[in-house]
Structure 1
Amino acid sequence: MRAIAYSRYGGPDVLELVDLPEPKVGPDSVLVRVRATSVNPVDWKVRQGYLDGLMDAVFPVVPGWDVAGVVEKVGLDVPELAVGDEVVGYVRKDVVGGGTTAELVSAPVRTLARKPASLSWEEAAALPLAGLTAYQSLRRLGVTEGDTVLIHNAAGGVGSFGVQIAAAFGARVIGTASPARHEYVRSLGGEPVPYGDAMVEAVRALAPQGVDVVVDLAGGGVVATTPQVGTPDVRLGSVADADVAAHGGANFWVRPDAADLAALGDLVDAGLVKVQVARTFPLEEAAAAHDLSATGHVQGKVVIRVS
């Protein structure tokens, strides 16, 4: 099978188009013929070795954890799926290695859900990791109808899902974003405020009693401002700041979860959550896709079309 792989940590130049053996399929896994995958910031951070202290790598590494494709083979004990089923998945395994930037991927059933019928392959590939990160963060913080939620980096890949999902849960959403992206945040159902020194005053003007929930998707120490914008009982979580616990919050790391992914797909098919694809690359241009993602200035997801 054709795949993108790297045999050492480094920049996008370590990515190569290679031919690899077909992956083996475990008893609780399926073989997916990949139609599309997407690039998330974690992909190029892993490629650069930033997660080496957390996860072992098995070289050559095929990058990517998002997948949209068709089940081609099922394991010995997989009653949930059948050959020909269209699926999406957040295929993160216990080691960094057999990823989704390839024509075929072996995916544990716990990582997969049926593809939302309303999405194209490219849109479906952009959903799992970023969408689940937002969905699980909001669920763990207990966001519900009547809450006021502040999302830092509301126009980013995860934040754009977070605004829509929180609104679907019945919450009022305020989101930090650069001025150029304020209209985009409004289009998602949020009320934009600026980054930086003006943020606290802007949030307080919109929510004088304070926000009920703060979701940090930006890092850079913004969790420290939470007492100035939150209620006395504010709930705080971060996917981007390891020091959040010192401010009374919790760290979140997205987990593969078939039920959560299915619930997210239901929100999509109900028209409550939309997926924006910024640009699509062919498999052989994966390095360019990584480069674009790493700029941090993409509105929507970067997708790689595989087959």
Structure 2
Amino acid sequence: MRSVVYSKPGDSSVLTVVERPLPEPGPGEVRVRIVTSGVNPTDWKARAGGTYGDGLPFPEVTPNQDGSGVVDAVGPEVDDLRVGDRVWLFMAASGRPTGTAQEYTVVPAERAVPLPDGVGHDVGASLGVPAMTAHRALTTHEHGPDRLAPGALSGKTVLVAGGAGAVGHAAIQLARWAGATVVSTISSDAKAALATAAGAHHVVNYRDDDAADQIRQIAPDGVDIVVEVSIPQNAQLVAEVLANHGVVSIYANNGGDEATLPIRPNMSVNARYQFLLLYTIGDEALAAAAADVTAALRDGVLPVGEDAGLPLTRFPLEETAAAHDAVEGDAVGKVLIEVGEE
């Protein structure tokens, strides 16, 4: 089978396409024939040394955590999946040497989630890191739900920073599905159009001098949940619009590794700042996110494509390096690698 690998950290030039033996699933594992692989910032950052430093946890690594495909073989002790099942994958390369940038991959069965009928592999490969991160960000409020479903966020106002990004896109869709009023901050008319297409009820340009006033007009009592991509940049704005007992769910360090928080405004509303990393949130939270995301898929939520607010950029497997470069270059929307046929 064709597989994209690297054996040392570095820029995208360390990625090469090679032939490797077909892997066999062990106990509790399934082999999936990959149709589409999804690329996230975590993938190029791990390859570049941002996760493992100067070394690698394995002599050879195949990148990409997310993907979508068809179960091709089932190992012992797997009861819930069968050969031929369509599945979406998450954390395929977490703690393992091989991700989804190859024709076949082996994963623990719990990381292969049935893809509902009628949902395409483009959608399946766009879930994983973005959708599950968004789910976690929306379920950390002190007085909010720990699961998402229609009505779970009724009466809540959610502010999604960077609604044109993959996590922001999923957060908008899931929050609206769960009944929240959704506001998204954006930086341009083009990104406002994407956030609106994703389902945001309101968009505000965070560069406007009166951005906080605009958000307060929408949510006079403040914002309950902030899905935050750049707290170093947005700390002051967030503090001005947060509701009493509001939570700021921080899932990325865009804008730098340090932020200055205004103390009095946050103290006065009993603010909670919740940092989150998908890879360490625990099996219970991962299982809940996978189940709720799949329920949303069955309800027709989480479409992708420009009309749905998430433009797609596609590359063949042989151009995985270019796909990584596109994500590193902040390509708008979702970058996918076309690996095989349905």
Normalised TM-score (structure 2): 0.83
Distance 1:259 1:206, change over 3 A: closer
Pair 25,55 (structure 1): closer, same or farther in 2 beyond 3 Å: farther
Judged with a 3 Å threshold, the aligned counterparts in structure 2 of structure 1 residues 69 and 297 are, in CA distance, closer, same or farther, namely closer
- State the alpha-carbon separation in 2 of the partners of residues 41 and 51 from structure 1: 11
Query: Which residue is 1:297 aligned to?
Result: 331
Deviates more, 1:157-166 or 1:18-27: 18-27
In structure 2, relative to structure 1, the CA distance for the partners of 1:245 and 1:253 (3 Å cut) is: farther
Match of 1:286 among 297, 320, 337: 320
Aligned to 2:126: 126
Cα deviation digits, residues 251-276 of structure 1 (max 9, x gap): 11125734532321221231233223
SS of the equivalent of 1:279 reads: strand
Change (3 A) 1:108 1:223: farther
Please tell me whether residue 231 in structure 1 is matched to residue 243 in structure 2: yes
Instruction: Provide the rounded CA distance (Å) in 1 between the counterparts of 2:259 and 2:227.
Output: 11
Deviations 1:193-244 (A, max 9, x none): 1123633233223222211111102343424533211112112211014768
Q: CA deviation at 1:64?
A: 0.5
Summarize deviations over 1:59-115 as a string: whole Å, max 9, x none.
311000112111111111000111111111103455352111011111101212111
User: Aligned AA for 2:275?
Assistant: N
Contact 1:244 1:251 in 2 (8 A): no
**Conservation of the 8 A alpha-carbon contact between 1:238 and 1:244:** no
SS at match of 1:149: strand
Alignment partner of 1:275 is 2:299: no
Unaligned runs of 5+ in 2: 146-152, 267-271, 306-310
User: Contact 1:116/1:124 (CA < 8 Å) preserved in 2?
Assistant: no
Instruction: Letter of the 1:103 partner, please give it.
Output: E
**Aligned partners of 1:259, 1:227: CA distance in 2, in Å?**
30
**Matched-pair contact (CA < 8 Å) for 2:323–2:335:** yes
Q: Distance in 1 between matches of 2:174 and 2:115?
A: 18
Are 2:40 and 1:16 aligned? no
**Matched residues, number:** 306
Tell me the amino acid that sits aligned with residue 265 of structure 1: T
Matched AA of 1:283: L
CA contact (8 A) 2:231 2:259 kept: no
Partner of 1:213: 225
Residue 211 of structure 2 corresponds to residue 187 of structure 1: no
1:79 corresponds to which residue? Answer: 79
Q: Which amino acid aligns with 1:183?
A: A
Q: CA deviation at 1:10?
A: 1.1
Q: Which amino acid aligns with 2:337?
A: I
Superposed, which structure 2 residues align to 1:97-136 within 5 Å?
97-136=97-136
Query: Aligned partners of 1:117, 1:54: CA distance in 2, in Å?
Result: 43
Q: Does 1:265 align with 2:289?
A: no
Distance 1:219 1:15, change over 3 A: farther
Larger mean Cα displacement after TM superposition, 92-101 or 185-194? 92-101
CA separation in 2, counterparts of 1:206 and 1:233? 18
On the 8 A contact 1:92/1:111 being kept in 2, the answer is yes
SS at match of 1:78: coil
Change (3 A) 1:187 1:213: same
TM-score, normalised relative to structure 1: 0.91
Moved more, 97-106 or 128-137: 128-137
Deviation (angstroms), 1:23: 2.5
Which residue is equivalent to 1:139? Answer: 139
Taking the aligned partners of 1:234 and 1:165, their CA distance within structure 2 comes to 18
Counterpart residue type for residue 225 of structure 1: L
What are the ranges of 5 or more consecutive residues in structure 1 without an aligned counterpart? none
Matches of 2:55 and 2:185, distance apart in 1 = 32
Name whichever structure is richer in strand by fraction: 1
Q: Is 162-171 or 180-189 further displaced after alignment? A: 180-189
- The 3-state SS of whatever aligns with 1:113 is strand
Structure 1 residue identity aligned to 2:296: L
The 3 A distance-change label for structure 1 pair 206 and 119 is same
Kindly provide the amino acid, as one letter, of the partner of residue 206 in structure 1: I
| CA distance in structure 1 between the partners assigned to 2:54 and 2:322 by the alignment | 26
For residue 274 of structure 2, what is the amino acid of its counterpart? Answer: A
Q: Is the contact between residue 192 and residue 203 of structure 2 (CA under 8 Å) also seen in structure 1?
A: yes
RMSD: 2.3
Task: State the alpha-carbon separation in 1 of the partners of residues 289 and 82 from structure 2.
Answer: 20
8 Å CA contact 1:134–1:162 kept in 2: the answer is yes
Deviation at 1:126, TM superposition (A): 1.4
CA distance in 2, matches of 1:272, 1:124: 12
